[in-house]
Chains A and B, each alone.
Chain A
Amino acid sequence: MSAANLQLDRQGRLLHFLTVEGLTRRHLTEILDTAESLRGVAERRVKKLPTLHGKTVVNLFFEASTRTRTTFELAAKRLSADVLNLNIATSATTKGESLLDTLRNIEAMQCDMFVVRHPQSGAADFMARHVKPHIAVLNAGDGCHAHPTQGMLDAFTIRRHKPDFPSLQVAIVGDILHSRVARSLIHALNILGAGEVRVIAPRTLLPVWVESLGARVFHSPKAGLREVDVIVMLRLQRERMERALLPTEQEFFQQYGLTEERLALAKPDAIVMHPGPINRGVEIDSRVADGPRSVILEQVTNGIAVRMAIMSITLGNHARPLGEDA
């Protein structure tokens, strides 16, 4: 069973949210439209809906994260769920209990939803394959595979600024090879019918078969950024230098960093995005990151609404919906 099938029920409704790949435009549009309707909640005096009242959401993080975990937590709380945060540091030297044992233990606490981040590609899939049927699994990032809620919040942010997808040109710049964000966003944009998705990076930071994901490859920002509507900069991890993928941060910034000069290659109303946390002066110049075209903080805000939407849709579709009264 492929991941795409694993996350759908027989009627094709989302039970889990593991990857964007294999979903239909209808699925994605439902998420975006729901997020749009939920976006207003934060502006209310009481920032809460009763949708997940009485439900328990567990944030199960096997990798350090502040932003993603916090926005998942806020999303769950704004839907009135109880939230449990579990940060399980894993390293090769301190092998704890198996993932399956962790899962069974938390299952025994009668939870309704697992939000999982794990350093291994396929970890969320693995969880979804083994959880009891009433539990929904949301992938909050698995290895280099997928970060589908990030992909959706990026698509949501883009749609708010550039609703005409067929004419849309999006450039994703940086470490595509290790980026689960890039993979999920490329799938989301293609499914939503974006005009063109470009990836811009040196060969060392591109998967060999990146075109097969549905992206056009550029090695130079000069060519790749020309006339684009959206620029998505990716975070560059420091260990890439140690693993001989790049010589120095300085050279990366010189060749690929987003400066005002390079931004001028894009359309005059192009927006600048970044999944965060940003490395100022490595992939992006502070003047661009803080500039008028940057929607980086808006992405963070939108992340809450999109995650609220995905939580209510998946739990709403579950066989034993405890929130029927909501």
Chain B
Amino acid sequence: MRIAIEGGRVIDPAHQTDVVTDLFIADGRIAGSGQPPAGFVPDWRIDARGQIVCPGLIDLCARPREPGQEHKATIVSEARAAASGGITTLVCPPDTDPVIDEPAVVELIRRRARAAGQVRVLTLGALTHRLHGERLAEMAALKEAGCVGVGDGGRTVASSRVLRRALEYAATFDLTVFLTPLDPELGHGLAHEGQVATRFGLPGIPVAAETGVIARDLELIRDLGVRVHFGRLSSARAVELVARAQAEGLSVTADTAVHHLYLSEIDLSGFDSRCHVRPPLRGPRDLDALRVGLAEGVLGALCSDHQPHEPDAKQAPFGDTEPGISGLDTLLALSLRLARDGVLPLPALLARLTWGPARILGLDSGHLGTGAPADICVFDPDAEWRVEPDVLRSRGHNSPFLGWELHGQVTHTLLEGQVVHAREARR
């Protein structure tokens, strides 16, 4: 299959390209841009005039809920949501049921994802057996099975001894370690320890629950030379700590979830369970600092932290609801608003969604260089849409952004040169 994407504004952050041109795809790979390669005759032309053509989005944290929680969503349902949102790669953390701590689970997810077709699902293996934080997981076997890294799956390893050993072991096999810093004891709460939690009588999660763990982890990795990625940062102080470590030359990267750039503790008013997330939505200053951290590149990636739920999971008093936001459908449009708001230029923003996460994962994708896998997102940056339950493709409709008017709609998503999503652009 040969495809020509014609007349779009091609933004390829990895090559600092931002130009209106044609892009050519053959045999699942980028065949070139500008002038067609010799003898190139497209089977299909995509008219991308007025649209933006960029690498497919790479989402560092999305839970398709399979295996284990198929009542919430499945790989099939969430793959469709990813494709329609321009996401071509998503990374599934190891806290599935069963946990991704043996090759069979990796294989199961790969098989289901391949059958679903529309998105590449990468897996993180567990850092410790069953994610219990006690014994090491078989990281070498997990790597051989295809895991792109290992992680704590949202459960911070409490024991510094175990973590130190796990980091050393991961480093032995050149695995990047993905940590989500939240102290299991101090983090035992429901909302940011601030004015809103005080008023609502919700148990607070102090910023120190995040920064205490980051500070510990940074000291542990100082001499090990292991690559560590901190996922879902929520506070200004956390951004500061990571920035300082990066300045010192530690191989540390970080991301945040896009909802942390739009929502704060104030949005919990009325005990809105859709805003129940972990780490919690923090204060307006934290939100600002995360935006600056993203613009400056301290946060090299922006993710959805996609956690779809069935309606019942959110229909209860706040503390009895499950945390998480369904985010695949809104990742691109919410992110684009950051560029519209002047937080960072569009190419830099797209870098955080493509090349940035690709580098963190060590992948040769997320760019449009000749020979790269043809994972491509074509979107109309001006198409306006309203977030409504019936336009969400994810099975989880648990979004606090319902009712928001957003700009940016994906018209075509290509995965390895196959069109996995297409909708008519509005002219």
Residues of A within 8 A of B (CB): 1-3, 6, 21, 98-100, 118, 120-123, 125-126, 142-146, 180, 183, 207-210, 212-213
Which of B311-326 touch A at CB < 8 Å? 312, 315-320
Nearest CB in chain A to that of B319: its residue: A120
Cβ of B204 and Cβ of A207 under 8 Å apart?
yes
With contact pairs A209-B198, A213-B199 given, residues A121 and B319 touching in the complex (Cβ less than 8 Å): yes
Cβ of B202 and Cβ of A99 under 8 Å apart?
no
Cβ of B317 and Cβ of A2 under 8 Å apart?
no
Give min CB distance, A81 to chain B, whole Å. Answer: 26
Nearest CB in chain B to that of A1: its residue: B270
Give min CB distance, A92 to chain B, whole Å. Answer: 10
Give min CB distance, B237 to chain A, whole Å. Answer: 15
Q: How far is it, in angstroms, between the C-alpha of A144 and the C-alpha of B193 when the chains are bound?
A: 14
Cβ of A98 and Cβ of B316 under 8 Å apart?
yes
Q: How far is it, in angstroms, between the C-alpha of A143 and the C-alpha of B271 when the chains are bound?
A: 12
B197 proximal to A (CB < 8 A): yes
Q: How far is it, in angstroms, between the C-alpha of A3 and the C-alpha of B206 when the chains are bound?
A: 25
Give min CB distance, A71 to chain B, whole Å. Answer: 22
Nearest CB in chain A to that of B318: its residue: A122
Cβ of A145 and Cβ of B201 under 8 Å apart?
yes
List, in ascending order, chain B residues with CB within 8 A of A118's CB: 317
Give min CB distance, B60 to chain A, whole Å. Answer: 32
Partner of B201, one of A1, A99, A121, A208: A121
Q: How far is it, in angstroms, between the C-alpha of A118 and the C-alpha of B269 when the chains are bound?
A: 19
Q: How far is it, in angstroms, between the C-alpha of A118 and the C-alpha of B270 when the chains are bound?
A: 16
Q: How far is it, in angstroms, between the C-alpha of A146 and the C-alpha of B198 when the chains are bound?
A: 11
Number of CB contacts from chain A to chain B under 8 A: 77
Cβ of B320 and Cβ of A99 under 8 Å apart?
yes
B17 proximal to A (CB < 8 A): no
B50 proximal to A (CB < 8 A): no
Q: How far is it, in angstroms, between the C-alpha of A232 and the C-alpha of B317 when the chains are bound?
A: 29
Nearest CB in chain A to that of B204: its residue: A208
B195 proximal to A (CB < 8 A): yes
Give min CB distance, B187 to chain A, whole Å. Answer: 15
Provide a sorted-by-A list of 26 A–B residue pairs whose CB atoms are within 8 angstroms: A3-B270, A98-B316, A99-B316, A100-B312, A100-B315, A100-B316, A118-B317, A120-B317, A120-B318, A121-B202, A121-B271, A121-B319, A122-B200, A122-B202, A125-B317, A143-B201, A143-B202, A143-B317, A143-B319, A144-B203, A145-B200, A207-B197, A208-B204, A208-B206, A212-B195, A213-B199
Q: How far is it, in angstroms, between the C-alpha of A120 and the C-alpha of B317 when the chains are bound?
A: 6
Cβ of A125 and Cβ of B270 under 8 Å apart?
yes
Cβ of B271 and Cβ of A122 under 8 Å apart?
yes
With contact pairs A1-B270, A2-B269, A126-B271 given, residues A208 and B200 touching in the complex (Cβ less than 8 Å): no
Nearest CB in chain B to that of A124: its residue: B317
Cβ of B198 and Cβ of A122 under 8 Å apart?
no
Cβ of B318 and Cβ of A121 under 8 Å apart?
yes
- Please tell me the size bucket of the interface on B: 20 to 34
With contact pairs A99-B316, A142-B317, A146-B201 given, residues A125 and B194 touching in the complex (Cβ less than 8 Å): no
Cβ of B317 and Cβ of A210 under 8 Å apart?
no
List, in ascending order, chain A residues with CB within 8 A of B315's CB: 98, 100
Q: How far is it, in angstroms, between the C-alpha of A208 and the C-alpha of B195 when the chains are bound?
A: 8
Cβ of B199 and Cβ of A2 under 8 Å apart?
no
Starting from the known contacts A207-B198, A212-B198, 15 additional A-B residue pairs (CB-CB under 8 Å) come to A2-B269, A2-B270, A6-B270, A99-B317, A100-B316, A120-B317, A120-B320, A121-B202, A121-B317, A121-B318, A122-B317, A125-B271, A125-B317, A143-B201, A144-B201
Q: Which 8 A-B pairs have the closest CB atoms?
A: A144-B201, A122-B271, A145-B201, A120-B317, A123-B317, A207-B198, A209-B198, A120-B319
Give min CB distance, B276 to chain A, whole Å. Answer: 10
With contact pairs A100-B315, A120-B318, A142-B317 given, residues A210 and B270 touching in the complex (Cβ less than 8 Å): no
With contact pairs A2-B269, A144-B202, A208-B204 given, residues A122 and B195 touching in the complex (Cβ less than 8 Å): no
List, in ascending order, chain B residues with CB within 8 A of A209's CB: 194-195, 197-198
List, in ascending order, chain A residues with CB within 8 A of B199's CB: 21, 183, 212-213
Q: How far is it, in angstroms, between the C-alpha of A21 and the C-alpha of B198 when the chains are bound?
A: 13
Q: How far is it, in angstroms, between the C-alpha of A100 and the C-alpha of B206 when the chains are bound?
A: 31
Q: How far is it, in angstroms, between the C-alpha of A98 and the C-alpha of B195 when the chains are bound?
A: 29
With contact pairs A121-B271, A208-B194, A209-B195 given, residues A126 and B316 touching in the complex (Cβ less than 8 Å): yes
Cβ of B202 and Cβ of A208 under 8 Å apart?
no
List, in ascending order, chain B residues with CB within 8 A of A183's CB: 199, 201
Cβ of B198 and Cβ of A208 under 8 Å apart?
yes
List, in ascending order, chain B residues with CB within 8 A of A99's CB: 316-317, 320
List, in ascending order, chain B residues with CB within 8 A of A208's CB: 193-194, 198, 204, 206
List, in ascending order, chain A residues with CB within 8 A of B204's CB: 207-208
Give min CB distance, A248 to chain B, whole Å. Answer: 22
Q: How far is it, in angstroms, between the C-alpha of A125 and the C-alpha of B319 when the chains are bound?
A: 12
List, in ascending order, chain B residues with CB within 8 A of A21's CB: 199
Give min CB distance, A131 to chain B, whole Å. Answer: 14
Nearest CB in chain A to that of B196: its residue: A209
Nearest CB in chain B to that of A176: its residue: B198
Q: How far is it, in angstroms, between the C-alpha of A6 and the C-alpha of B272 when the chains are bound?
A: 13
Q: How far is it, in angstroms, between the C-alpha of A321 and the C-alpha of B114 when the chains are bound?
A: 60
List, in ascending order, chain A residues with CB within 8 A of B200's CB: 121-122, 145
Q: How far is it, in angstroms, between the C-alpha of A106 and the C-alpha of B412 when the chains are bound?
A: 50
Partner of A210, one of B198, B312, B316, B319: B198
Q: How far is it, in angstroms, between the C-alpha of A2 and the C-alpha of B271 when the chains are bound?
A: 8
List, in ascending order, chain A residues with CB within 8 A of B271's CB: 3, 121-122, 125-126
Q: How far is it, in angstroms, between the C-alpha of A2 and the C-alpha of B200 when the chains are bound?
A: 11
Give min CB distance, B222 to chain A, whole Å. Answer: 31
Which of B282-327 touch A at CB < 8 Å? 312, 315-320
Which of B137-157 touch A at CB < 8 Å? none
Residues 166-210 of chain B: 1 if any A CB is under 8 Å from the residue's CB, otherwise 0? 000000000000000000000000000111011111111010000
Give min CB distance, B68 to chain A, whole Å. Answer: 19
Give min CB distance, B93 to chain A, whole Å. Answer: 25
Q: Which of B195, B270, B317 counts the most A-chain CB atoms under 10 A from its CB?
A: B317
Q: How far is it, in angstroms, between the C-alpha of A144 and the C-alpha of B202 when the chains are bound?
A: 7
